[in-house]
Structure formats: C-alpha cells, structure tokens
Amino acid sequence: MRRTFGKLLPLALAAPFLLAGCGGAGDETSAPPPPAGPATGAPAAGNIAASDAAPKEGSPPRKVVTPETVIDSKGLSKVVKEEEKGGEAAASPSPTDYLWQLAKDELIQDEPLTPKLPRPLPALTLNVYVPAANPLTKGKVELGKQLYFDPRVSLDGTVSCATCHNPEKGWTDGAPVSTGIDGLKGDRSAPTVLNTAYGKTMFWDGRAPSLEAQAQGPVQNPIEMGKQSYKQIIERLRTISGYREQFQKVFGTDVTLDGMAKAIAAFERVTAVSGNSKYDKYTAGDLKALDDSEKRGMVLFGLRASPDDDFKTDAVLKKAMCTSCHVGFNFTDEQFHNLGIGWDPAQKSFKDKGRWAVTPIGARNNAEIGAFKTPTVRDAARTGPYMHDGSLKTLEEVVEHYNKGGNPNPFLDNDLKKPLNLTDQEKKDVVAFMKALTGEEIAVELPKLPAGPDGKTPDPRSALKAPAPKTAFHPSTVR
Ligand code: HEC
Ligand code: HEC
C-alpha cells in the first residue's frame, strides 16, 4: 500500500480530499512516457475543420491554463529498492526477479504488429505513441488481452481490468464511481481506455506517465484488485504454465511485473481505439454523414463545416467554446482544467483536489486546484456517467453545466466563467454532434484464458460484473 500510493498515501489518510483509483502507482514507471502527445506533436489528422482551434505544428502553443508539471516519477529501480527494504510487502518483499528479468533473446518467438486503425487515428509509431522499450508484437498483444480479462490477477479472483473498463460498456463500467474487490467503492469514475494510446498522461490527475506505468497500479490497489504484493501476484501467475510459456516467447523471461505491464499496455493501444465516427466520415468527404443538427452542433462546438459543403447555418462558430479544450483528432488538449465539478459551496473547497494534489511541493499552481484532465469526447455517448466523479448523468446535463458557466469557485477555468446562452435547440445540436463522435463498433472477443494448476480455466465473463459487497470481515477491507 505504501508503495502503491507512493508518497501520496500519508496525505490521503490525513486529508480525505486525496483519493486514489485504479492504482495510484503512477510514480512507478517501467517505460519512458511517449515523448510527444497529440496536443503538441501530432497534427489534427483528418480534422479539416479544426483550423481555428487545433494546435499547429510550429505555431506558438495555446495559452496553457495549468502549467505542465513533470510528475516526479520513480524509476523501477527505486521501486525495487523499496520492495527490498520492505515497503508494503514488509512480510513478503518482492525480489527484483519478480519485477524484471534480463531477456534471453534466444527464447523469443514473436512477430512485429502494425495494427490497422480506424481513421483518423495516427499510426502507433515507435517513440511517438509507443515507448521504445515496448514495441508492438502479435504475441504480446494476445498475452496482454488475456491478462486484461483475467480475474486471477486480483487477490480473490473476482476482478479483472474489464470489471471497470469493459469494452462492451465503452471501456468503462457505466457507474458514477467504480466498484472493486469485495464491492468496495472508489471515489473516482473509471475513465474510458479508448484512445489512451494517444494520452500524454494517465488518470484524471495525470499522475502516471504512460499506460505501462498505469497498469502496475490497480493490481495492488486495496479497493480495486486487492491488497497484495507484486510478489504474490507474479507468483500466482507463475503457477499458470500457459502464462510462463507466453512470457518466454514474448519477452524471453519468466512472468514479471515489467512484462505484465507492457503486455497490457500493448493490448490497450491496439484494441481500445475509437474512430471512423459519422464526423470522421464527414471530414473524409461524405458530406451527408452528418445531419443538419449535427452540423450545427459541430459549428457551435468550434469546428468549421467542410468548405465543400454548401450547408448554410447562422450558428455562431465556437459559441459553445468546446474546442478551447476538446481539440485535435482525439478531442482533448491533454491539459488540466477546473470546471467546478465537485466544488462544495458550503465547505468552500474541493474534496478531490485533482491535479494540484499530485504536483510536487514547490511546483504547485492554484489553477491546478480542482483541475482534472480533459477527457476525449469520442464515444461520449457510451461512456456516461460523466466527469471525474461521475456526477453528471447525461450529455444534456454536461452541456447544461457548461451553458451556465460551470460551478463558480475561485479556481474556475477562464473559458468557463461566462454563461454560453445556448438556446434549447443549440444545446440539442451540441449533444447531437457529440453522439456523432461515436466510433465504429469494434467487437472484442473475450480471450480463452490459460488453465491454472488445478486444470481449471476461469471464464473472463465472470468478472465483467462488479463483485458484491462482502459483509463478513475480510483482511482486504482494512484500509
Ligand atoms: C475497481 C475498478 C478498476 C479496476 C479493477 C481497474 N481500473 Fe483502471 N481506472 C479506474 C478508475 C476509477 C480510474 C481513474 C482513477 C484516477 O483518475 O485516479 C482508472 C484509470 C485507468 C486508466 C487511465 C485512463 C485515462 O484516461 O487517464 C487506464 C488506462 C486504466 N485505468 C486501465 C486499467 C487496467 C489496465 C486495469 C487492470 C490492470 C485497470 N484499469 C483496473 C478503475 C479501475
Ligand atoms: C476549459 C476547458 C473545457 C471546455 C471549454 C470544455 N470542456 Fe469538456 N471537459 C473538460 C474537462 C477538464 C473535463 C473533465 C472535468 C472533471 O471531471 O472535473 C471535461 C469533461 C467533459 C465531458 C465528460 C467526458 C467523460 O468521459 O466524463 C464531456 C462530454 C465534455 N467535457 C464535453 C464538452 C462540451 C460539449 C463542451 C462545450 C460545450 C466542453 N466539454 C467544453 C474541459 C473542457
């Protein structure tokens, strides 16, 4: 636990505003973050209409509301040292061998993979969106899929990543906040995994620098997959011969935490993708892909109609201000903003301080108080309820929140301070446009999991439903 939450834990106990979800191991990284993220590096692919909002290469960066802070990320070697000193696993420190092993190259039998992605998603280029240490290969993605859906990664075999990030539910869980082991509830909403391949940071507060770093967290989180040491998890997986064989072929090692995080990240990059929506078809030249309401919504959102389209509207470009933050091919600036979500007017404070809480002392900026990462709007029709606390149920409520100018508080983002004065029809149009960002359906076939030492193979479907709360005492309920 101490390691899982890193330096945040003592704070989390002292100050109830600091919450963790899906790990918290953001400061344990096994791979460097992708050097460039979509907000700065990538052109707004296919986004012909984004001229007025999309960052252009070479042009000065847009006003940044929250300063970019590099979160102090511990290298895996530091994690190992803590493990050896005791850390959470004082009773069972996880020796280096469980975290990482030197590859025996002669064991590796895998082939490179170039995934076919829906337009306009840019290719998953090595060193741009894929860390150099974790190139995409076929066997790795297949292994990652099994681990993603395998409830044996959790302490009692009831929770998998898909419990909270179910591909059938827009890669989230459809609940305001997510439920983990023993029915324990966290305080944040499970974000979609869709298009996180292009994310510059992970989590609502951006505390993890990569998908690889992110994937190490939930497995050890006491309210997600259980209070267990890495040694326990990896030892359990090493009893499954099918995993040992696959790790050898993919990584040339036995089962390790490093390999597990890499395989899961590779699976997410290749599979959790959203594109080829009605809007993408429109920008690709199918001018009939959007109806009039969706087109008006697009303009209000901040995106120009195609110059080839003779569609006429008196909708004011960017009246709804959305592209101030939801910009580029993945509809996010990858920045952190305060919309007033979670502001408690009686206490005059935020229970969850968001980005501010994970920023090192000495680098904190008031604009980070109550600020959270701009999520993609792609597939928003499938990812409700919305916001970091799941407090807004529908897209209509989301638009209403922006229309009234957010929740007033001392740290509110400048782009929200004025009410938008959208008419009822205009609100409907913006919602219609967001629905036109629903990506093409990509069916994810559940994997067949390797048999355990008892010869039994768990059904990945069993973990798609959140576990019921346990009433009896269970060690993992002690926080
Ligand atoms: C009990 C529910 C639960 C489980 C199990 C769980 N997650 Fe999460 N996940 C969350 C929550 C809640 C967050 C947001 C936490 C935060 O921002 O502090 C999150 C965040 C994430 C993110 C960041 C997305 C973004 O846009 O920033 C990724 C990626 C992710 N989880 C993948 C995984 C993987 C992989 C696993 C399995 C190893 C997993 N999750 C297991 C609930 C869960
Ligand atoms: C100042 C930047 C900013 C502007 C302007 C903005 N957003 Fe957001 N948006 C965010 C941030 C940040 C969040 C997450 C906030 C949180 O959880 O506290 C968010 C969340 C959302 C979500 C929820 C997504 C999810 O998965 O939970 C939707 C939908 C959304 N915005 C749509 C819009 C629309 C439509 C507009 C224009 C009317 C708009 N946004 C304007 C920054 C912005």
Q: Which residue has the higher pLDDT, 303 or 48?
A: 303
Confidence of residue 470 (pLDDT cuts 50, 70, 90): confident
Please tell me if the CB atom of residue 229 comes closer than 6 angstroms to any atom of ligand 1: no
Q: Is 209 left (phi over 0), alpha (psi -120 to 50) or beta?
A: alpha
Helix intervals (H) in 86-172: 96-99, 138-149, 161-164
From the list 315, 258, 266, 260, the residue with the least C-alpha distance to 432 is 315
Mean pLDDT of all residues in 48-59: 39
Supply the pLDDT for residue 49: 36
Nearest CA to ligand 2 atom 6: 322
* CA angle centred on 98, ends 96 and 102, rounded to 5°: 70
Question: Which ligand has its closest atom nearest to the C-alpha of 197?
Answer: 1
What is the Cα gyration radius of the chain? 22
From the list 354, 349, 376, 375, the residue with the least C-alpha distance to 365 is 354
Q: How far is CA 228 from the centre of its chain?
A: 23
Reply yes or no on whether the pLDDT at 78 is more than 60. Answer: no
Q: Whose structure tokens read 């992708």?
A: 34
Nearest CA to ligand 1 atom 12: 190
**Do residues 467 and 180 lie in contact, with contact meaning Cβ atoms separated by under 8 Å?**
yes
Question: Which ligand has its closest atom nearest to the C-alpha of 193?
Answer: 1
| Average pLDDT over all residues of the chain | 84
Nearest CA to ligand 2 atom 5: 322
Please tell me if the CB atom of residue 152 comes closer than 6 angstroms to any atom of ligand 1: no
* Rounded percentage of the chain residues whose pLDDT exceeds 70: 78
Using most ligand atoms within 8 A of CB, pick from 164, 171, 184 the residue to mutate for ligand 1: 164
Question: Which ligand has its closest atom nearest to the C-alpha of 195?
Answer: 1
Which residues 6+ apart lie within 8 Å of 405 measured at CB?
Answer: 416, 417, 418, 419, 420
The DSSP letter of residue 439 is: P
123 vs 348: CA distance, rounded Å: 45
Nearest CA to ligand 1 atom 7: 22
Backbone φ and ψ of 416, nearest 5°: -110, -10
> DSSP letters along 196-216, please?
GGG-SSBSTT--BSSHHHHHT
Query: Residue 382 is inside which H or E element, if any?
Result: none
- Pair of tokens at residue 287: 């001018």
Using most ligand atoms within 8 A of CB, pick from 8, 17, 22, 195 the residue to mutate for ligand 1: 22
The DSSP letter of residue 177 is: S
238 vs 254: CA distance, rounded Å: 8
From the list 185, 214, 234, 196, the residue with the least C-alpha distance to 27 is 214
Q: What is the 3-state secondary structure (H, E, C) of 251-312?
A: HCCCCCHHHHHHHHHHHHHHHCCCCCCHHHHHHCCCCCCCCHHHHHHHHHHCCCCCCCCCCC
pLDDT in tens, 401-440: 999 999 999 999 999 999 999 999 999 999 999 999 999 9
* SS3 assignment, position 248: helix
Tell me how far the alpha carbon of residue 185 lies from the centroid of ligand 1, in angstroms: 13
Position in ligand 1 atom list of the atom nearest CA 153:
38
Question: Which ligand has its closest atom nearest to the C-alpha of 162?
Answer: 1
**Do residues 61 and 55 lie in contact, with contact meaning Cβ atoms separated by under 8 Å?**
yes
236 vs 460: CA distance, rounded Å: 17
Supply the pLDDT for residue 227: 87
From the list 338, 320, 329, the residue with the least C-alpha distance to 432 is 320
**Ligand 2 proximal residues by C-beta, below 6 Å:** 320-322, 324-326, 337, 339, 341, 372, 374-375, 377, 380, 383, 386-388, 395, 398-399, 402, 413, 415-416, 430, 434
381 vs 437: CA distance, rounded Å: 8
121 vs 117: CA distance, rounded Å: 6
Nearest CA to ligand 1 atom 40: 161
CA count, 13 A, side-chain hemisphere, 69: 24
**Do residues 25 and 71 lie in contact, with contact meaning Cβ atoms separated by under 8 Å?**
no
Tell me how far the alpha carbon of residue 17 lies from the centroid of ligand 1, in angstroms: 19
279 vs 46: CA distance, rounded Å: 10
**Active site residues per annotation:** 224
From the list 385, 383, 324, 389, the residue with the least C-alpha distance to 353 is 389
Tell me how far the alpha carbon of residue 313 lies from the centroid of ligand 1, in angstroms: 41
Tell me how far the alpha carbon of residue 21 lies from the centroid of ligand 1, in angstroms: 7
Reply yes or no on whether the pLDDT at 76 is more than 70. Answer: no
Which residues 6+ apart lie within 8 Å of 159 measured at CB?
Answer: 151, 153, 180, 181, 224, 225, 226, 463, 466, 467
Mean pLDDT of all residues in 79-104: 63
Nearest CA to ligand 1 atom 43: 22
Q: Which domains does the chain have, with CATH numbers?
A: 8-33+73-273+442-465 (1.10.760.10), 278-435 (1.10.760.10)
pLDDT in tens, 6-45: 333 333 333 333 334 454 433 333 333 333 333 333 333 3
